[in-house]
Amino acid sequence: MDIIKILFIDDNSLDTYIEKLSKILGKAGMQLEAVVLDISRREFHKANESGDLVLDEELIKAHINDNYINQNFDYVACDFDFSDRNYNGYKLLKWLINTANQRPKNKIRKAKYFFYSSDTHDAEGVARSDVLGLMRLKLEKLIDRTNLPGELASSIQKSRAELNLESEFLSILDQYSDMEFKSTFPEFRGKKLSDIYNEIDSETDKGIRYQKALIEQTISNMIKMQEE
């Protein structure tokens, strides 16, 4: 069964939504692994000048860096509007995506990102005011919170049906990670397939060159087969 790992970020309960999403994905032959960052917890708050508890942006960021930035997630879904009027999901997810893309070893960078909101019109208004910022985020979709399970499941099923050559290749390398590489690509000769996996996953120059060489070699072999 295909396992779908999603990081949810919210300050309200998502139990009902996650239960519905799990059932929908289950019928499609997928198993949901949901990780919830509940920022309503006391540990993510601080007292402001008036003595009121407000979200502490730096504490939330530190928690994400310590616990999630180097985890493999298929998707990240974040509430657009938090209860705190001075801090919202747009600011948080914008920071997360930019931070994740800064270093190749940040595994969460390969996730697909979604916003959801109980007021999509308000969210769209905020987004329009920062069009360039929104374009750079490369978000998959803005979802109405009431339709979160169905719309998220639909997007997941659609994306899983698309062929991702790099992902498929990495999956095969991972299955045979202990095997030694013996081929015509000199830079990887004698290395284990797990080493090659890391080069490709980290998007190093060697990893990119190897993928290009592999495609060229595959096409070349196909042409030779046709000529025989």
The reported pTM is: 0.75
pLDDT on residue 227: 65
187 contacts 211 by C-beta, under 8 angstroms? no
Question: Amino acid identity of 112?
Answer: K
- Higher-scoring residue by pLDDT: 198, 165: 198
- Higher-scoring residue by pLDDT: 168, 34: 34
pLDDT on residue 139: 76
Residue 114 has a CB neighbour count (10 Å cut-off) of: 22
Q: Residue 73's closest CA among 33, 31, 116, 37? A: 33
CATH superfamily, domain 2-161, is Response regulator (3.40.50.2300)
**Lowest-pLDDT range of 1-15, 59-73, 139-153, 174-188:** 174-188
- pLDDT of residue 167 exceeding 80: no
- Residue pLDDT, tens place only, 186-218: 777 777 778 777 777 777 787 778 777 777 777
- Residue pLDDT, tens place only, 2-20: 899 999 999 999 999 999 9
Q: Which residue ranges make up each domain of the chain? A: 2-161, 165-227
Question: Amino acid identity of 165?
Answer: L
DSSP 176: T
pLDDT on residue 131: 46
Helix (H) or strand (E) holding 164: none
The rounded distance, in Å, linking the Cα atoms of 62 and 93 is 14
- pLDDT of residue 87 exceeding 60: yes
Mean pLDDT of the chain: 83
